[in-house]
Structure 1
Amino acid sequence: MQFIESLDILRQLRQQWRQGNLRVAFVPTMGNLHDGHIELVKQAKARADKVVVSIFVNPMQFGANEDLDAYPRTLDADRARLEAEGVDALFFPAVSDIYPHGLGEQTFVEVPGISDLLCGASRPGHFRGVATIVCKLFNMVQPDVACFGEKDYQQLQVIRTMVADLSMPIEIVGIATKRQQDGLAMSSRNGYLSNEQRTTATTIYATMQTMRDAIVAGQQSLRDIEKTGQAQLIGAGLTPDYVTIANGRTLKPAQSDDVKLVILVAAYMGKTRLIDNMQITLHQA
């Protein structure tokens, strides 16, 4: 595996691969890799001849009171895991290379509408930061296909919209959420939880299962199901940011005639903000 910090070196490598007509897959990460990330790598390998993984903790997507400085950085362990998986190149740029003029003078990419909902409402500017860094990394790596986890469902929809709107020749692949045996979605932020908090956090998945069953049964309004789900989280000791049943494409509140739905949950366990989702396809009569 090549460890690349320079954009010039990355572009030289990319040019070699292009001359060989090799298909390139890309997995952008912020490091602190877990089995969910490794699943993205495995799926990328299945779809291409060469795989590039990036590690970059992106300051543009963190708010003023968020955990940028505290975000875990585990480069040596990450590098070993990626090498063991047969990744071809690890791209590890410096903040000064990504934002040479600082964040204040950086051209940005913003996906309107969908970026302002849900996590976008709770974290203003977050998806501007996500869209900007992913666009920049796409221009650097120039992949044919890029793999993203469905756990960050809104992020995935923002990126899909950006790629379509900007006519980028990149296939975006969503990979199903990797979970622990008790249903907790794998996340770097799980490391912030105490043992007791981690046990309580499994209520998120259990709540979504209950909501899914109620949706399929069709005996309650979607808004009432949301309220019940929120109460279930509060009762377990979590503090919900939102509990929403949305249209699977637009992420606007789902209506009774929508077929593809997604349950989206964001909740605080102590100071740690956790997100999760569950997709549902209803069968029309």
Structure 2
Amino acid sequence: MTLATLALTWRHLPAAPPCPRPRVRTSEAVLLSVATLALLLGISQTTTWGWVDPRTLGLFAVGGLAMAGWVWLTLRHDEPLIDLRSAFRGAAAAPNITALLAGAGMYMGLTLLMVLVQVDTPSGWGLGQPVAVAGLMLVPYSAMSVLGSRISLWVGARISPGRVLPIGCALYLASTVQLALGHDHVWQALLSMALAGLGSGSTFATLPVLLVRAVPAGETSSALAFNQVLRYIGFSVGSAVGVTVLGLVSGPVPDEHGFVAAMAVNAGVWVLAIGVVVRAIAAR
């Protein structure tokens, strides 16, 4: 599919008119890469090493120092790799912050659902399904994600996309609340995944539209790429935090109380995302 997309792009997209190419500073690219790698690796290993393990703390320290160096270099230049000044203010702030929060909420929900479907504790909590069934839970999620993206783009062409974005977040919030309240049967997990897919597809299809409208035409590539970086950081944070909350509340063996508590945290993330978007709409 990637090769086919590349061929279609090469064949049908018009070439850009000749223009001066900005110089990419290697120092910025290297620092951002090191920061992202160290932070994401550290976050992903918290469930194995723990949050206070020296290896985890070391990765966080390296990532934090590299990130600080990258921010310092970026703010010094008039034509940076990524314009941080415009990324978190004005019309671009809401889609960027929402990408981080929605990424965290999305992967937190998916991770907790995988635990619910596969675990079978002595107390009787959990659905106790094999890994194949757990994988099939993503089928309604994927299908509804495609549908959600199509619907959001269709609606966004008729009303402001900024008004579509909180609806997508609210749909994922509804799936989180639904699964927290009812999780005794496989069909409830499937229903939650269908709602989550609809909300996820709608949310992540709307973010690029808002960003393209918010930044100058010459900065769309860097703006969209940075939005993807924020999204992936959210993915790692969400999955790690979900498992951490589950373990802190449940103890060594996951239980229903810990699951509900983790889902409540996930719901809070989506409420925060909706608040960010609604406030941005009200300010415009």
TM bucket by the smaller chain? Answer: under 0.3
Q: Which has the higher strand share?
A: 1
Q: Which has the higher helix share?
A: 2
**Greater Rg over alpha carbons, structure:** 2
